[in-house]
Amino acid sequence: MEGQVLGNRYELVEKIGGGGMALVYKAKCNLLNRFVAVKVLRSEFTNDEEFVKRFRIEAQAAASLSHPNIVSIYDVGHEESAQYIVMEYIDGVTLKEYISQRGALPWKEAVNITIQICSAIEHAHRNRIVHRDIKPHNILMTKDGIAKVTDFGIARAVSSSTITMVGSTIGSVHYFSPEQARGGFTDEKSDLYSLGIALYEMVTGSLPFDGDTPVAIALKHMQTEPIAPREVNNDIPLGVNNIIMKAIKKDQNNRYQTASEMLEDLYRVLKEPEGSFVSMEDVESFPTRRMEAVSAENTKVQNEAAVVDHKGDQSGKKTDKVVIWLAVTSGLVIVAVLLFLVYNFLGPSPGQGNKENEIEIRDYVDLDIDIAKEELEKEGITVDVSRRNDEKKEKDLVISQKPVGGTKIKKGGIPVQFIVSDGPELIDIPDISKAEYRTAETKLINMGLLPKIEEEFSEIPIGFVTRTVPAAGEKLKAGDSIIIYRSKGPEIKKTKVPSLTNLTKIEAQRLLVEYKLKLGKITPEGGKPYTDKVISQYPDAGVEVDEGSPVDITFEEVKDRQEEIELVLGENADQYGDQINVRVEIKRSDTNKVENIYTSTHKKEDFPLKISIPIPMNGKTSIKTYYNEEIVDDSTLYF
């Protein structure tokens, strides 16, 4: 279809991809002069009502969403038998190609990509749309590292009808959830399962389930427990491992229940990679059962059964004795160690001399560490300080101490250990000025900030960032708000055109600058000579125009230069009669024709006479002067 124009507007340039139901082309929008992507339903499906319906569902689903991590839909249409969707053109690769090129990704990069995808899924779910085919093939990666979710071809609004079609499954077998494999109910948690599989592939470079046939893979999704990603790649932190394992639980009730819940853990794992914050508890789902009421008869039966069980267990008595002996021995060892530690570090209590060598430390929690160090070091007690970020306590305040306040310790004994706050973890604000605002917004979200968009006039192109508040280089806490100012383009102000008539070129330029206008076209063009006085202008004086608009001016063109010559009688005046016939003829270099430009009869007292001689531009004029048909002068004038 290359070269075909759809909708009298979209010229298909080249095929750039395709799937089971459609082909994707790079196209040029001739109306807006930009590149777009056009998805065209395959010709074999154009007469299939189910496929056409699903194709339209994609357009409706995606068109209702507006998010920096979702590919934008611009237009839909059909021409003859072609059904098509026009969308944002992404100059990049799919996430699948990205993984194939690089192998297992660094866990931080993988988490940041997953945050973007999860943010897009969260937006779709809030709009009651389940994607149902989340996989690396449907994630486009821009050259700036921005992830864009596309292909809502099998998305459906969340309702009781969100079920796989009878007799078939919808989704991609390596990534779809157990409920999709079973042909059961699919909801938001099905998307999160697929996202968990994609994250598994990103950090390990491989898929958790594979097989010779789609059916074999589907059965593994339903029945087989995956190998933990941390066992495949030792560099994966515990927190990332746990997020993946929770996302791909087989029971929907044991997974993340919302995209927002998964996003919260994804942001947290960037700060606490080895943290055990992911809740992995399974939700009990025992069915309701009928039970007999507890009665004396039931109790008697149970007791008799217990006696029988006790008799049958006599053979294990010898083993139990060994276990008990080992337990008692271990307990005695632990008590001895504890007594040793108490004696050495807290010191013996009897004896006045020992009491003078010990001090009861106070509680320094929430006090400045400098105060604690000064007091304890005066008493000869050493201090061991370790620091960590704390969202609630100011910098240099004590978070905890060991031993705790009220404990007596020996001078010169063990050091008092303090954990001290370094204040909240701060994020350096990057310089995102002149970046496209959606790219900048996504970057700040990935850093843990909450951007808000404001608009202002600027010389920076429309849609690009002019500045941020706070500014680049300042610091914020995770979760703080930051304002991104998006350019609306330059502010357009009006001014009236001044009158330039009879002004010189320099005077006209100065006046235009004063009125915040600029000099436009000058006539005559091409270096032709002109008088230095404006004879007309456009727009006319008094017309209201935008500031910065050009004003065209026109000067009078000079084609020939005029030079006056003087005719005199001189010393031979007496030889002429009272009436003298005067004739002047010229020959111009541009025409080479002899022209008689002056003929008249004069009296002697009329002399001297002044006559204007035209000289062509960059040329010359030959002159011959006759008195009574007698030549008296033969000369040449040059331009």
The set of catalytic residues is 133
Q: Which residues of 392-406 are buried (b: 16+ CB within 10 A; e: fewer)?
A: ebeeebbbebeeeee
Residue 429 one-letter amino acid: I
* Number of neighbouring beta carbons within 10 Å of residue 111: 25
Query: What's the residue count for the chain?
Result: 639
Q: Cα(17)–Cα(480) distance, rounded to whole angstroms?
A: 40
The token pair that represents 535 in the structure block: 């004879």
Query: Which is it for strands 609-616 and 620-627: parallel, antiparallel or unpaired?
Result: unpaired
Residues 6+ apart with CB under 8 A from 428: 473, 474, 475
CB 448 within 8 A of CB 400: no
Backbone angles phi, psi at 599, to 5 degrees: -145, 120
Q: Cα(623)–Cα(591) distance, rounded to whole angstroms?
A: 14
Residue 584 one-letter amino acid: V
**Whose CA is closest to 519, among 505, 509, 504, 529?**
509
Backbone angles phi, psi at 254, to 5 degrees: -95, -5
**Whose CA is closest to 569, among 516, 614, 609?**
609
Instruction: Label each residue of 251-318 as H, E or C.
Output: CHHHCCCCHHHHHHHHHHHHHCCCCCCCCCCCCCCCCCCCCCCCCHHHHHHHHHHHHHHHHCCHHHHH
